[in-house]
Structure 1
Amino acid sequence: MLFLLPPSETKRDGGVEGSSLDFDVLSFPALNRPRRSVVAALVRLSRDVDASLVALKISDRLRFEVERNRALRGSETLPALERYTGVVYDPIGAAALSQEATAWAGEHVAIQSALFGLVGALDPIPAYRLSHDSRLPGVSLAKTWAAPVARALVLRGAPVVDLRSEAYVDLGPAPPGSAYARIVSDADGRRRALNHFNKKTKGTLVSRLVESRPELASVGDFVDWARGCGMVVEREESGLVVVSESVLGL
């Protein structure tokens, strides 16, 4: 079973001393050719700060992100689950996980990146700035990633619980037997889609998974595990419905 997360715009600084980007140690090695192409295009773009700000859709106060992109080939790396920060990743607390929880995450959690395609939770990556809607000159991110990511997920041979946002699903659909998870609120008796708590729920769900480390072979197994933990998870024809309050304990 693979749990597929979206990335975050924010990244933690720094990394392991003496480390740098090494494509050969990343998971899903079939993606290395497009990875190299997208990295090369982003580094070229970073030589023009003004053009980068426009392409990345960021303001001048974030020009440090352009510097990150310019240096990303030689920058120190961190495991992806530690590199990404924000509402999804804070509940997971990757740096404080036990050795057993970290190992489980490495086997069962992946992240969709606009720069690297899929990365495993423990893959060492540098800080960078590139989003699904960035306008990288000469490169269509959707066309670059959609087919290779879809093939990589098929080759992985495991059903996916897809926790990505719809925009990142477009960068590579999950294979048959997988389920897209929709997060809803049921606090007032009416189910509605969420924004902030959508992300927090996904992070908290993954946190509970890595701490309990269940053995899951199918989407049905995941649903049974979640219900056994008191979470409201329902199967629909279009995927899974996860009620936020039941995960967050609200």
Structure 2
Amino acid sequence: MLILLPPSEGKTAAVSGPAFDPDKLHFPGLNDARKQVLEAVAQASAAADAHTVLGVGPSLAAEVQRNTVLQDQPCAPAHRIYSGVLYDALGYSTLTPAQQRTADSSVIVISGLWGALGFGDPIPAYRLSMAVKLPETGKLASFWKRHLTPVLNEYAAEQLVVDCRSSTYAAAWAPEPARAAAVNVFQIRNGKRTVVSHFAKHTRGELARHLLTRTGAAPETPEQLVAAAAEKWEAELVPATARKPFQLNLILPGQEAAN
């Protein structure tokens, strides 16, 4: 089983740690592409229109500046650099050592800067969304799709892929539909099912944690995945098509709106 996560927008920078070393990352076949993006983002971040290109406001000036010297910044495991709602709900630091080892081998983060990372890979904090179009690379989702597809297709092989990414990051690699399930979160409001962005990240983090901590064998098929999810949520599985993976729908209870 592989669990795909998006990175968080916010990052917790390492105070100390080793300098960046591309040979410490999973998927060494991506290193040439990573170097290209590192150079492109450094150049874009040093330009006068950096904030416009990166799609960030003036309050993030320090993070944009850090993009120009990323290879000199201290690194920490990806699960410590990435922060926010999903990662808080997953709660890596509160997992047992055995569960952390499972997370390190099962979780892949899809990133606008690194392409794909293992959960324990040492990286510096950075600011770069998959939605960005860099002058030297073009749209990052398109750039990475070319590079990720052969690498991750081989790596995933016959494994079940539990896709907890947002649509921005899902555009960078499409796993084999018959072996993948995209996770959607809904809430019941006034008797109707509604898409909820507020709880989606949190619930996906909770699902990842549940899959890493539950007793028994890890699910190997979409049918086993929905059964595992049903241990905690109301869950349903929508069949895959030739081009679209299974859809694992988690339905949260909701409150009726006041009259």
Q: Which TM-score applies when normalising by structure 1?
A: 0.90
Q: Answer yes or no: is 1:220 the counterpart of 2:220.
A: no
Distance 1:161 1:40, change over 3 A: same
Q: Give me the whole-angstrom Cα distance separating, in 2, the residues matched to 1:15 and 1:80.
A: 14
User: RMSD between aligned alpha carbons?
Assistant: 1.8
Alignment of 1:58-207 (within 5 A): 58-140=56-138, 141-156=140-155, 157=157, 158-176=159-177, 177-207=179-209
Q: CA deviation at 1:216?
A: 2.5
Q: Give 5+ residue unaligned stretches, structure 2.
A: 241-245, 254-259
Q: Give me the whole-angstrom Cα distance separating, in 1, the residues matched to 2:227 and 2:37.
A: 40
Contact (CA 8 Å) 2:181, 2:248: kept in 1 or not?
A: no
Contact (CA 8 Å) 1:83, 1:125: kept in 2 or not?
A: yes
- Other structure's SS at 1:72 match: helix
Q: Give me the whole-angstrom Cα distance separating, in 1, the residues matched to 2:173 and 2:96.
A: 31
- Opposite residue 103 of structure 1, the aligned amino acid is R
Q: CA deviation at 1:147?
A: 2.6
Q: Give me the whole-angstrom Cα distance separating, in 1, the residues matched to 2:77 and 2:171.
A: 24
Task: Quote the residue 2:257 is aligned against.
Answer: none
Q: Give me the whole-angstrom Cα distance separating, in 1, the residues matched to 2:27 and 2:111.
A: 12
- Other structure's SS at 2:87 match: coil
Q: CA deviation at 1:94?
A: 2.2
Q: Give me the whole-angstrom Cα distance separating, in 2, the residues matched to 1:103 and 1:216.
A: 17
Q: CA deviation at 1:130?
A: 0.4
Contact (CA 8 Å) 1:106, 1:122: kept in 2 or not?
A: yes
- Opposite residue 22 of structure 2, the aligned amino acid is F
Contact (CA 8 Å) 1:197, 1:244: kept in 2 or not?
A: no
Q: Give me the whole-angstrom Cα distance separating, in 2, the residues matched to 1:115 and 1:181.
A: 24
Q: Give me the whole-angstrom Cα distance separating, in 2, the residues matched to 1:57 and 1:122.
A: 28
- Opposite residue 94 of structure 1, the aligned amino acid is Y
Higher strand share: 2
Aligned residues: 243
Q: CA deviation at 1:79?
A: 1.2
Deviations 1:58-107 (A, max 9, x none): 11111011122112111111111111111111112223332112101011
